Amino acid sequence: MEGFLAGHSLAVNIVVGLAAIAILVLSADFAVNKLVGLANYFRLSGTFMGMTVLSLATSIPEITSHLTASVGILRGTLDFQIGSSIVLGANIGSDVVQQTLIMALVVFFAGALYFRRYFLYKSMIPMIGTTVMCIILGWDRVYSRLDGLILFGTFIAYTYYLYVDERKYYRKPQSAEEMPEARTPQNRKEMLRDVLLATGAMALTIATAQVVLGITERVVLATGIGGSFIGVVTLGVASAMPELVTAISGIRCKEHGISLGTLVGSNITNPLVAIGGGALVSTYWAPKPLLYWDLPWETITGVILWIILWFTKGKLNRWAAYYLVGLYIAYIALRALFFLAD
Q: Which residue, among 96, 74, 1, has the nearest Cα to 298 in the 3D structure?
A: 96
Tell me how far CA of residue 130 lies from CA of 17, 166, 335, in angstroms.
Answer: 31, 21, 22
Per-10-residue mean pLDDT of the chain, 342 residues long, equals 58 83 78 75 72 78 88 92 89 88 88 82 92 96 96 95 75 47 79 90 76 73 72 70 70 69 88 95 93 93 89 88 92 88 72
Distances (CA, A) of 338 to 94, 334, 341: 20, 6, 8
Give yes or no for a contact between 102 and 87, defined as CB atoms under 8 angstroms apart. Answer: no
133, 151 in Cβ contact below 8 A?
yes
User: What per-residue confidence (pLDDT) applies to 180?
Assistant: 47
User: In 169-269, where does DSSP find H-type helix?
Assistant: 188-223, 227-230, 236-239, 241-252, 256-269
The pLDDT value recorded for residue 173 is 47
Closest CA relative to residue 220, chosen from 208, 232, 206: 232
Euclidean distance between the first and the last CA atom of the chain, given in angstroms as a whole number: 28
CATH number of 2-338: 1.20.1420.30
For residue 144, which amino acid is it? S
Choose among 16, 38, 65, 118: nearest CA to 239: 65
pLDDT at 239: 67
Domain ranges (residues) in the chain: 2-338
At residue 176, the pLDDT reads 43
